[in-house]
Amino acid sequence: MTRSSCSLLILLALSAGLSGCGTVNEKLSSGMGDYVPQWAGGLPADAPPRAGTPQYDAYMKERERRRLMPAAEREAAKLEQSKLDPVR
């Protein structure tokens, strides 16, 4: 085998290997992102649920309910929530 054909074969093998990693990472990143801690760049604690889950549907219903609520009631609910959840 000549040197140029050997180099071409190695380049082809490396590019095939890298494209395989891209496909694996695409599938893993959608699920693994939920398990990465916030300090390491993961989702914050107050991030909404993923779309397409039952939690997301409940979140959107609650969000719509709050949007339709009068402003005075919305502020009272927000103050009450902050008293119950001192972390925020």
Profile the chain (88 residues) by mean pLDDT over runs of 10 residues: 83 76 62 74 81 90 89 80 62
What region does 41 belong to: left with phi over 0, alpha with psi -120 to 50, or beta? left
If asked whether residues 56 and 88 sit together in one domain, one would say yes
If asked whether residues 73 and 58 sit together in one domain, one would say yes
pLDDT at 64: 92
If asked whether residues 38 and 66 sit together in one domain, one would say no
* Nearest partner of 57 among 65, 20, 1, judged by Cα: 65
| Close Cβ partners of 55 (under 8 Å, ≥ 6 residues apart) | 49
pLDDT at 47: 83
If asked whether residues 56 and 40 sit together in one domain, one would say no
Whether the pTM exceeds 0.85: the reply is no
DSSP letter at 40 equals G
Q: What is the domain extent for residue 8? A: 1-44
* Counted domains in the chain: 2
If asked whether residues 53 and 73 sit together in one domain, one would say yes
pLDDT at 88: 46
If asked whether residues 36 and 65 sit together in one domain, one would say no
pLDDT at 86: 56
pLDDT at 22: 60
